[in-house]
Amino acid sequence: MYPRPIPESAIWQRRLYVSAVVVVLILWLCPLFAIILTSFRSTADVMGGNLWGWPTEIGLIDNYRAVFTDTPMARYFLNSLIITIPSVIGVLVLSTLAGFVLSRYRFPGNMLIFALFVGGNFLPHQIMMIPVRDLMVRLDLIDTTVALIIFHVAFQTGFATLFMRNFIAALPDELFQAARAEGASPFQTLFHVVIPLVRPALAALAILIFTFVWNDYFWAVVLTVSDSVKPVTAGLANLRGEWVSAWNLVSAGTIIVAVPPVIMFFLMQRHFIAGLTMGAVKG
């Protein structure tokens, strides 16, 4: 049998979809392309007002070197690592423990506690700016990396617990019954049964939390003042001069700041996709 010819309407519909995707992709990539191109520009181009045309001089190496030598960006970068890594670890540990208990144990107030975790996700963090700042002042933690770590762990744990609780609840009950029959304690069940099975979910959650914390700007401005503790997002604003802004350095710093989440995503891409699709198809 000969294959059926594709209707003309279907061909035009497919072309329309492809064209729409291309247009959206171009619109999405335009700002990124502009920032990358500006990071190549020399200072003379920027001072001369050449912000949109092709650079007359390529200052790639000079700009990226100047970001680390002429600005405190290296300090900001280290501060972000000091804040983000403990925050991610703390969120993963607390959410896994809470998710395990809420999904596998029934006790008075179980659903109320779970509702509090879910409800906290709908509360805008910005409305708590003054109470959170006053609390950190009273605890003498204002303008420290510890304040940002505590805040991010506290506020990201609600979403992470909802995430982990649903994944752990989807695991077969037979596994837990077999573990209890073997005399395994709850902690042994958690470490030897649950964690190996939800490793893709942990990887996906780690990428999400890393990106949220690394890209946070609002709380970095609210809870920090001095350059010695500012993360990269707040530090980028300091690269702007009072009268004249070196946009080539700001753009180069922006590209540098965007690199760690991208690297982490590509390193854990397989686990991230598996974690997001985990449980979507049942055998």
pLDDT of residue 243: 47
List, in order of start, the domains of the chain with CATH numbers.
11-65 (no CATH), 71-242 (1.10.3720.10)
From 190, 197, 176, select the one nearest 271 (Cα to Cα).
Answer: 197
Find, among 267, 257, 220, 199, the residue nearest to 68 by Cα: 257
Q: How far is CA 217 from the centre of its chain?
A: 12
Ramachandran category for residue 144: left, alpha or beta (phi over 0 → left; psi -120 to 50 → alpha) = beta
| Secondary structure, 3-state, 234-262 | HHHHHCCCCCCCCHHHHHHHHHHHHHHHH
Give the count of beta carbons closer than 10 Å to the beta carbon of residue 82.
Answer: 16
**Segment 73-108, tens digit of pLDDT:** 889 999 999 999 999 999 999 999 999 998 888 888
- Give 133-184 as a DSSP string: HHHHHHTT-TTSHHHHHHHHHHHHHHHHHHHHHHHHHTS-HHHHHHHHHTT-
**DSSP label at residue 52:** S
Q: Please give the single-letter amino acid code of residue 184.
A: A
DSSP annotation of 5? P
The pLDDT assigned to 145 comes to 92
Beta carbons of 67 and 53 less than 8 angstroms apart: no
Q: At 14, phi and psi to the nearest 5?
A: -65, -40
pLDDT for the residue 172: 86
Whether the model pTM is above 0.85: no
Judging by beta carbons within 10 Å of its beta carbon (0-12, 13-18, 19+), is residue 89 exposed, middle or buried?
A: middle
Averages of pLDDT over each 10 residues, the chain, 283 residues: 59 78 80 81 74 66 82 90 95 92 85 81 81 90 92 90 88 86 86 88 90 91 89 83 68 87 80 56 43
Q: What is the pLDDT of residues 155-178, one digit of tens each?
A: 899 889 988 988 888 888 888 888
